[in-house]
Structure 1
Amino acid sequence: MEMEMEMVYRTYKHLLFTVAYRMLGSVSEAEDMVQDLFATLQTLDTDNITNHKAYLVKMITNRCLNDLKSARKKREVYVGAWLPEPLLMSNHADPMGQVVQDETISYAFLVLLQELSSVERAVFVLREVLGYEYNEVAEMLNKTEINCRKIYSRAKVKINQDNERSLGKLGDSQPLVQKFLSAVQTGNFQDFVSLLTEDAVLVSDGGGKRRTAIHTILGKQRIQALFEGIAGKGSLQGQWLPFLINGQAGLVLVKDHKADMVICFEMEKHQPQANHIYQMMNPDKLQHISSVLSQIS
Structure 2
Amino acid sequence: MDFEKMYAAYRPLLHSIAYRMLGSFSEAEDLVQDVFADYSQLDANDIQNEKAYLVRMVTNRSINLSQSARKRREVYVGQWLPEPDVDHAATDPAELYDRHESVSYALLVMLEQLSAVERAVFVLRESLAYDYDEIAACLQKTEANCRKIFSRAKEKLQKERELLPANTVKAEPLVVTFMEAAATGDFNKLVALLTEEAVLVSDGGGKVRAAIFAIISRARVMAFLQGVIPRTFLGDGHRFAIINGQAGIIIMKDGKPRSVISFQLDAENQKIERIFVMLNPDKLKHVLVG
CA separation of 1:9/1:236 partners in 2, compared to 1, >3 Å: closer, same or farther?
Answer: same
- Taking the aligned partners of 2:279 and 2:200, their CA distance within structure 1 comes to 13
- Taking the aligned partners of 1:52 and 1:238, their CA distance within structure 2 comes to 48
Instruction: Find the counterpart in structure 1 of residue 181 from structure 2.
Output: 183
Query: Contact 1:180–1:189 at 8 Å: present in 2 too?
Result: no
What displacement does 1:104 show?
Answer: 5.1
- Taking the aligned partners of 1:191 and 1:101, their CA distance within structure 2 comes to 32
SS in 2 for 1:203: strand
Query: Contact 2:102–2:245 at 8 Å: present in 1 too?
Result: no
Q: Deviations over 1:143-193 (max 9, x none)?
A: 222221211110010111xxx123173342112221222123222322023
Instruction: Find the counterpart in structure 2 of residue 276 from structure 1.
Output: 274
Instruction: Find the counterpart in structure 1 of residue 142 from structure 2.
Output: 144
- The correspondence for 2:167, drawn from 164, 170, 176, is 170
Instruction: Find the counterpart in structure 1 of residue 89 from structure 2.
Output: 91
What displacement does 1:66 show?
Answer: 1.2
Q: Deviations over 1:15-61 (max 9, x none)?
A: 11111111011112212222221122212212222211111110100
- Taking the aligned partners of 1:40 and 1:193, their CA distance within structure 2 comes to 53
Tell me the matched-pair count: 281
- The correspondence for 2:127, drawn from 125, 129, 135, is 129
Instruction: Find the counterpart in structure 1 of residue 12 from structure 2.
Output: 14
Instruction: Find the counterpart in structure 2 of residue 224 from structure 1.
Output: 222
Query: Contact 1:82–1:207 at 8 Å: present in 2 too?
Result: yes
Instruction: Find the counterpart in structure 2 of residue 113 from structure 1.
Output: 111
- The correspondence for 1:199, drawn from 187, 197, 220, is 197
TM-score by length of 2: 0.91
Instruction: Find the counterpart in structure 1 of residue 34 from structure 2.
Output: 36
Matches within 5 A, 1:257-296: 257-289=255-287, 292-293=288-289, 296=290
Moved over 6 A (4+): none
- Taking the aligned partners of 2:57 and 2:260, their CA distance within structure 1 comes to 32
- Taking the aligned partners of 2:73 and 2:99, their CA distance within structure 1 comes to 28
Report percent identity of matched pairs: 50
What displacement does 1:230 show?
Answer: 0.7
Query: Contact 2:18–2:31 at 8 Å: present in 1 too?
Result: yes
- Taking the aligned partners of 2:258 and 2:209, their CA distance within structure 1 comes to 12
Report the more deviating stretch, 178-187 or 20-29. 178-187
Where structure 2 has 5 or more consecutive residues not aligned to the other structure, the ranges are: 91-95
Query: Contact 2:251–2:260 at 8 Å: present in 1 too?
Result: yes
- The correspondence for 1:79, drawn from 77, 80, 85, is 77
SS in 2 for 1:287: coil
- Taking the aligned partners of 1:210 and 1:140, their CA distance within structure 2 comes to 40
CA separation of 1:228/1:102 partners in 2, compared to 1, >3 Å: closer, same or farther?
Answer: farther
